[in-house]
A and B are shown apart, each in its own frame.
Chain A
Amino acid sequence: MLIMHDKWSIDVSFASRSAFSQFRRNYPREYISCFSNLEKIRGLLNEGKKLAEMEHHPSFFRHETKGIFRIGQSGIRGSKESRLYVYPCHREKSLYILGIGTKESQRSDLEQAKKAIKDLC
């Protein structure tokens, strides 16, 4: 379903399908949890919540750098620390998905995410 929407939408133009597919194979529970939490964030944005007031409120949502936020997994015992990187663009009302990875790969994941948003907004 590819449509424009009045509410916040999720844009995956900058996400690598192979990277996401591989992550999902390695950490299926964490993958589902991260996207479930993404929907929670989208719901809060749709209700007019500001990113500034949301930061740290759900504990899985943190600002990283240059407008990039990370969404973690939650509620899973013995889970792998995971990070779904997103860039909220207010002008377009879009949550750009930039990448996904673990705590160990966060440095390189963030670098890639920063490169991706150079062309954005």
Chain B
Amino acid sequence: MKNLRFTSAGDAAAFLAGDEKVKLRVEEEICCSQLVNNLLKLRMEKGVSQKELASRMGCDPSKISRMEAGNDLQLKMGDVMQYLSVLDVKMHMVFEDTTLPVAEQIRQHVFLIHEKLKHLVKLARQVDGDEVIISKIRVFCGEVLLDFLSRFSDSYKKLSVVSGHGTPALSGTVKSGVNTDSECVEKKSSEHSCC
């Protein structure tokens, strides 16, 4: 018997149906279930049953079952907020205006990263006094910064290739050693946003 293995349900569905269009349909359906999937994963990670969650939300377990069995378009905003709230999970929303100029969109992404790093500092303050955790956060921040600069450099190079502006000066900075000074990062961010 032939060994027929696939790495996605869409590929398998298309193969069995004998129709390539099926793959796209399955992928669209999966795409419409990202939020539902995340809710389900969160609940399972916290080891909370549907019944328990329903009890915390003050609703019937069948409501939880319906939420998790549907897709994102069928979810109600209020239900999602309540679902996350009783699991002690905060929700952040990001609005991306795709009609903005690319430079402005890039700028917004950089600000978003900056906000995340500020949140990390806030978390570090929460454990103020615990030297072990703080030193681990410092190490982690360093790693994140190194990784960020490396990725930033790669993206910047790709951007230059796309725009045809040649090799950017920034790549040399990353290769020759990372300056973890925040001013340096801010300077690079502003350079990036101006391109």
Interface of A is mostly: mixed
- Give Cα A104–Cα B12 distance, bound, in whole angstroms: 24
B5 A3 Cβ-Cβ under 8 A: yes
What is the distance, in angstroms, from B115's C-beta to the closest C-beta of chain A? 27
Chain A, 59-88, CB within 8 A of any chain B CB: 59-60, 74-75
Residues of chain A with a CB closer than 8 A to B19's CB: 24
Number of contact residues on A: which range applies?
A: 35 or more
A59 touching B26, Cβ below 8 Å: no
Given the contacts A1-B11, A75-B70, A10 and B5 also touching, CB distance less than 8 Å: yes
| B contacts, CB < 8 Å to A | 1-13, 15-19, 22, 25-26, 29-30, 33, 37, 40-41, 43-44, 50, 65, 68-71, 74
A2, A44, A53, A74: the one within 8 Å of B5 (CB): A2
In the complex, 29 of the A-B residue pairs with CB atoms within 8 angstroms, ordered by the A residue number, are A5-B7, A10-B8, A10-B9, A10-B12, A11-B3, A12-B5, A12-B6, A13-B4, A17-B15, A21-B17, A21-B18, A35-B9, A35-B10, A35-B12, A36-B26, A36-B30, A40-B33, A40-B40, A44-B41, A57-B40, A57-B43, A57-B44, A58-B68, A58-B69, A59-B50, A59-B68, A60-B69, A75-B71, A75-B74
